[in-house]
Amino acid sequence: MRVLVTGGAGFIGSHLCDRLLERGDQVWCVDNFRLGRRRNIAHLLGRSNFQFSELDVLDKPGLNALFADAGFEAVFHMAANSDIAAGGADIRLDLELNQLTSVTVLEAMLAHGVKRLFFASTSAIFGETDQVLREDFAPLQPISFYGASKLAAEAYISVFAHTFGGRAVVLRFPNVVGERATHGVIYDFLRKLEADRSKLEVLGDGKQSKPYLYVSDMIDAILVAWDKSEAYFAVYHAAGIGSTTVREIAEIVVAAAGSADTRIVFTGGDRGWPGDVPQFRYDTSRLQALGWQPQRGSTDAVRYAVERILGNGF
Amino acid sequence: MRVLVTGGAGFIGSHLCDRLLERGDQVWCVDNFRLGRRRNIAHLLGRSNFQFSELDVLDKPGLNALFADAGFEAVFHMAANSDIAAGGADIRLDLELNQLTSVTVLEAMLAHGVKRLFFASTSAIFGETDQVLREDFAPLQPISFYGASKLAAEAYISVFAHTFGGRAVVLRFPNVVGERATHGVIYDFLRKLEADRSKLEVLGDGKQSKPYLYVSDMIDAILVAWDKSEAYFAVYHAAGIGSTTVREIAEIVVAAAGSADTRIVFTGGDRGWPGDVPQFRYDTSRLQALGWQPQRGSTDAVRYAVERILGNGF
């Protein structure tokens, strides 16, 4: 299959490129290096079935030229602002990087007759709830512009699939950890310890609890959903098994990269930033019914990610 | 109360201005006359508690200057592309006129500390389903860019209310009929008969069936929801009682404005255009529990609207 991966030099995008190439797909990767990094794809450059273009997906003429040239059969739209906290300060940031990139991709797909789309969505579309989240849970009341922009993108993709003949797989991601991450709690903690090993400041009270998934399990989820789903608009949830508190993550990071004297200091409050959802629980049975099974539980995933990051660099 | 009504020279917006003024509010109306009409507010110009500015809500500096000047306590955001079929041809049309206008309004409200928002939403956010639609129905899979853009706007308003201290009332409108309408099935039929009384061409098979609400009942719904809701993010459905098929509407219009020889011709197919939802049913019990009760059933509403339009001009 001849595929475009947007945001392909990003954290999850670059792991996805690896795996698509492994299975024999022709991969065209684009990234604007806003969050993505050249080093994430350096090992792929020069391979005969891999091509890279430095391109901002919002550059509509540039994207259209690429579509005209490449003859894609499918698009994995991974480009996004993955830094949820950053979007709190500017209503337009996630709007542009998550939603308008999606609209631009849909426009190009419609213009060039490309039918198959994978979209990386998020639990943040649901807002705050203590319910176990099935794919059709309601009400959807996001509390971050990140969540709102991803919900908006899902809505446009729904129209693409229901009215314009597209086929789309929407997979709502949990917190994913692993090497090449460009943001997130492990990354933040390691950076803080790098600057000052005497203490680790943790935003909130440390009790926020989420299921973490190791990146290779996430790529498995993407490919199972992609290969197995038969609906023209299919929505799935993927999540780690169990959950891990921020306090546990801090302790794991300090054990691996701190010193015996590192103190963990909590700023207090039930969340890290306005719009942070303190906890969520996904029902992943729909994706598991297709055969997906994560290899690592949440806390194991965190521990392994810390090990891989320290072994391989950020 | 000192209120801004965006799209205040439009169909429902101008009726809302009338009623807000009647009850003693100070109304500042803005409209860009893309769909709104000067004649809809001509009778209000010169009133001491009414001010009008010709302004496109997407004009961010213009909107901010107005907010700085006027000291609004609340915003009724009615400005929108109300021509759903038109949005099928251009993915950006509803995006800009429905969603980005909403984002621009939210930005101005956040910048100027205005907390209270009314938002005119739509059943089109749900897509196509034969279920009775409660406010928290899922899944939400819009089939028109109109529906997608309104769902996106709701998501941004959810963030405004949940994370940024705003208070919002979202009312999902049904098909509304009455004088001053700028689009819609009655309007289309009357225009067609004006051009050619020998026949009335009806898009689809005429079996599409929707609940129609007369505009004064819609304004009642807006004001009941606005006055009575206590949640900081409240969502309601309003709908006419019963429903009316397109065939019935055609017959009512022909009886009122056609001749004995007017033939009704159906183009066939189960919907008027791609993205048209052939039928939907709202559960309106939440709004009725606040005291709202429409005065006219669906077919009566259509009949009365035709009479008022013919009596008062389009």
The secondary structure of A211-240, three-state, reads: CEEEHHHHHHHHHHHHHHCCCCEEEEECCC
pLDDT digit string, tens, across residues B38-89: 999 999 999 999 999 999 999 999 999 999 999 999 999 999 998 877 888 7
Percent pLDDT > 70 in chain B is 100
The 10s digit of each residue's pLDDT in A3-32 is 999 999 999 999 999 999 999 999 999 999
Paired sense of beta strands A26-31 and A2-6, if any: parallel
Can you tell me the distance from the alpha carbon of B63 to that of B104, in angstroms, rounded to the nearest whole number? 8
Nearest one of A12, A140, A160, A137 to A76, comparing CA atoms = A12
For residue B145, give how far its alpha carbon lies from the nearest alpha carbon of chain A (Å): 6
Per the listing, tokens 């993550």 go with A249
Query: What residues in chain A have their Cβ under 8 A from chain B's Cβ atoms?
Result: 88, 91-92, 95, 99, 103, 106-107, 110, 125, 127-128, 135-145, 147-149, 151-152, 155-156, 158-159, 162-164, 233, 235, 274-275
Positions in chain A whose pLDDT score sits under 50: none
Q: Domain A182-211+242-275+297-312: which topology?
A: UDP-galactose 4-epimerase; domain 1 (3.90.25)
Q: A137 contacts in B (CB within 8 Å)?
A: 138
- Choose among B301, B279, B134: nearest CA to B217: B301
**Nearest residue in B to A150, CA atom:** B152
Which helix H or strand E contains B305, and what residues bound it? helix B298-312
Chain B interface, Cβ < 8 Å to A: 88, 91-92, 95, 99, 103, 106-107, 110, 125, 127-128, 135-145, 147-149, 151-152, 155-156, 158-159, 162-164, 233, 235, 274-275
How far is it, in rounded angstroms, from Cα A2 to Cα A67?
11
| Percent helix, strand and coil across chain B, each to the nearest 5 | 40, 20, 35
Give residue for tokens 């991450």: A181
Helices (H), chain A: 11-22, 38-41, 60-70, 91-94, 101-112, 145-163, 185-195, 215-228, 246-257, 285-288, 298-312
For the entire predicted model, the pTM comes to 0.94
What phi, psi does A140 have (nearest 5°)? -100, 105
Answer whether residue B314 shows pLDDT above 70: no
Instruction: Please tell me which of the candidates A88, A139, A155 has its beta carbon nearest to residue B148.
Output: A155
pLDDT at residue A314, rounded to an integer: 63
Domain boundaries, chain A: 2-176+212-237, 182-211+242-275+297-312
How far away is chain A from the Cα of B161, in angstroms, using its nearest Cα? 8
Best to test chain B binding among A163, A235, A236, A273 (most B CBs inside 10 Å): A163
Tell me the pairing of strands A199-202 and A74-77.
unpaired
Amino acid making up residue B6: T
How far, rounded to the nearest angstrom, does the alpha carbon of residue B269 sit from its chain's CA centroid? 26
The structure tokens listed for B106 are 């939210």
B121 sits in the region (left: phi over 0; alpha: psi -120 to 50; else beta) called: beta
Least confident segment among B48-62, B133-147, B235-249, B264-278: B264-278
Which alpha helices (DSSP H) does B198-297 contain, by range?
Answer: 215-228, 246-257, 285-288
A105: exposed, middle or buried (C-beta count within 10 Å: 0-12, 13-18, 19+)?
buried
Beta strands in B138-218 (DSSP E): 167-173, 175-177, 199-202, 209-210, 212-214
CATH code for the domain defined by B183-211+242-280+296-312: 3.90.25.10
Q: Quote the minimal CA–CA distance from A106 to chain B in Å.
A: 9
Domain B2-176+213-237 listed as CATH 3.30.70.3270: no
- Taking contacts as CB-CB distances below 8 angstroms, the residues of chain B near A140 are 138, 140, 155, 158
Q: Is there a contact between A158 and B127 if contact means CB atoms under 8 Å apart?
A: yes
Residues in chain A closer than 8 A to B142 (CB atoms): 155, 158-159, 162
- Return the pLDDT at B260: 87
Percent of chain A with pLDDT over 90: 83
Nearest to B125 by CA among B114, B135, B115: B135
Residue of higher predicted confidence among B311 and B276: B311
Asked if pLDDT for residue B277 goes beyond 90, the answer is no
Residues B167 and B74: beta-carbon distance below 8 Å: no
Condensed to tens digits (0 to 9), the pLDDT of residues B177-211 reads 999 988 888 989 999 999 999 999 998 899 988 88
Residues 6+ apart with CB under 8 A from A302: A177, A186, A212, A244, A248, A249, A252
**Superfamily (CATH) of domain A2-176+212-237:** NAD(P)-binding Rossmann-like Domain (3.40.50.720)
- Chain B residues close to A139, C-beta within 8 Å: 135-136, 138, 235
Rounded to whole angstroms, the Cα distance separating B220 from B217 reads 5
User: What does the block give as tokens for B145?
Assistant: 């860019």
pLDDT of residue B29: 98
Nearest CA of chain A to the CA of B78: how many Å? 20
Q: How many residues does chain B have?
A: 314
Cα of A235 to nearest chain B Cα, Å:
10
